[in-house]
Amino acid sequence: MNFIAIKMLIGNRAKYFGIILGLTFASLLITQQSSIFLGLMTRTYGFLTDTSLPDIWVMDPKVQYVDDIKPLKETESIRVRSVEGVEWAVPLYKGLLKARLPNGTFQACNVIGLDDESLIGGPPVMSQGRLSNLRGSDAIIVDSVGARGKLATVSPDGKRVPLTIGDTMELNDHRAVVVGICEVQRTFQSQPVVYTTFSRATIFAPRERKLMSFVLVKAKPGQDHKVLCQRIQQATGLAAYTKDEFRALTVKYYMKYTGIPINFGITVVLGFIVGIAIAGQTFHNFTLDNIRYFGTLKAMGASDGTLIRMILLQASVVGSIGYGVGVGIASFLGLVSGNTELAFQLPWQLLLFSAIAVMVICAASAVVSMRKVIKLEPAIVFKT
């Protein structure tokens, strides 16, 4: 009976490929748009991922996400360092400053100021130069994407010349010399990332009474991070979050106060509806076209359960093929866009989500067809 079901399925090539095309489109749309959404959310806390050494981030209580900077006094790092259970606590500057390139153009950059002594919070990977080079005069390290893109200079013949070690720029009218190129995650705003020391960053930045953005904390071995966060909050009055908590706080802000979830959610729902509309209608028409064959099988003694299993097998076959092709295309597009501005993140949980969505579409299509087959009278095969 399984063989007969497959023969019936592929016998009508037009409807067979039509069902697969509808499921492929639905799977592609659901997987790709969800992957782009996850990629964007990952970029919102990319700086936290790159800064992996600290266990706890201390900040102003009013901070809502990682780019919502509320400056602190530099003396706050000393107060945090004195809390029991803290192994070390260092200041960090994070701000958006305008860089003036040699050709006179301006570009906004994310400037990160690291602790002068330890350089804690530096980039995870150095492709050129060394992190210790930041201790040189006017030294900065630039991310590779920014060096090749927005910070590159345009030659007279129109070609873009990437920023390299030894090149200079101005940050708030202060000279800065590139001493290294690093690899970091792209930011949500896709701005270039510039690393320097904390003291130099406070010189680059416009003068304010408070310039420290965060205090990075490392807990002593055996310390419970959440308990230490509470201890820091009680001792200093500042907010203290573990890395996971700060990441969740950032994602929650973008989910609540931006239109990103709604926009991508609508696209995913549309993909689901289109899949049901195209695949469901086509599969239903396919069943109607083969209703006489189902009636013949029923007249020959095939039970309703056997016919239902045949329909489920047909739905499973087209569902598996459509899902595989759709996910394959989405994965290929993700690989192609790996070094572009397009955010793309495809974890296994998303593949499972897409599989369940396609399964629901196939199940809905099969249910409509099964009702027709169950109500079918075997005598239909004898009608002229």
In a domain? residue 266: yes
* 121 domain residue, yes or no: yes
Residue numbers of the domain that contains 226: 73-237
The pTM assigned to this predicted structure is 0.83
Residue 179 pLDDT > 90: yes
Residue 21 in any domain: the answer is yes
Query: Could you tell me which residue, 292 or 115, shows the higher pLDDT?
Result: 115
In a domain, 118, yes or no: yes
In a domain, 265, yes or no: yes
**Residue 203 within any structural domain of the chain:** yes
CA-nearest of 127, 192, 138, 131 to 166 is 138
Q: How many domains does the chain have?
A: 2
For residues 202 and 343, membership in a common domain is answered with: no
Three-state SS annotation for 1-49 = CHHHHHHHHHHCHHHHHHHHHHHHHHHHHHHHHHHHHHHHHHHHCHHHH
Do both 307 and 198 map to the same domain? Answer: no
56 φ, ψ (degrees, to nearest 5): -135, 140
What's the confidence (pLDDT) of residue 89?
Answer: 95
pLDDT score at 18: 82
Question: Does 146 share its domain with 222?
Answer: yes
Whether residue 322 lies inside any domain: the answer is yes
CA angle 148, 180, 171 (to 5 degrees): 75
Average pLDDT over residues 192-207: 93
366 burial (CB, 10 Å; 0-12 / 13-18 / 19+) is buried
Residue range 33-86, pLDDT digits in tens = 889 888 888 989 999 999 989 999 999 999 999 999 999 999 999 999 999 999
- 26 and 100 share one domain: no
Local confidence band at 314 (pLDDT 50, 70, 90 cut-offs): confident
Backbone CA torsion sign across 367, 370, 374, 377: positive
Q: Do 193 and 324 sit in the same domain of this protein?
A: no
Final residue of a domain: which of 205, 237, 269?
237
Torsions phi, psi for 238 (to 5 deg)? -95, 165
Cβ atoms within 10 Å of 67's Cβ, excluding its own: 19
Is the sign of the CA dihedral 222, 226, 230, 235 positive or negative? positive
* pLDDT higher at 169 or 103: 169
- What gap in Å lies between CA 257 and CA 274, rounded to an integer? 29
End-to-end alpha-carbon separation of the chain, Å?
26
Instruction: Concatenate the DSSP letters of all residues of 217-243 into one string.
Output: EEEPTT--HHHHHHHHHHHHS-EEEEH
pLDDT tens-digit map of 246-291: 999 999 999 998 888 888 888 888 878 877 777 777 777 777 777 7
DSSP state of 187: P
Structural domain ending residue among the three candidates 185, 205, 237: 237
Distances from the Cα of 156 to the Cαs of 103, 153, 161, in angstroms? 11, 10, 10
Task: Judge if 232 and 85 occupy the same domain.
Answer: yes
pLDDT value at residue 339: 64
Tokens of 207: 């003068």
Res. 306 pLDDT band, cuts 50 70 90: confident
| Interatomic CA distance for residues 51 and 57, integer angstroms | 10
Nearest of 236, 19, 219, 195 to residue 95 by alpha carbon: 195
Token pair recorded at residue 239: 């907010």
* pLDDT tier, 383 (very low <50, low <70, confident <90, very high otherwise): low
Tell me: do 217 and 312 sit in the same domain. Answer: no
The predicted structure's pLDDT at residue 175 = 93
Asked, for residue 251, whether it belongs to a domain, the answer is no
CA–CA gap between residue 146 and residue 110 (Å, rounded): 10
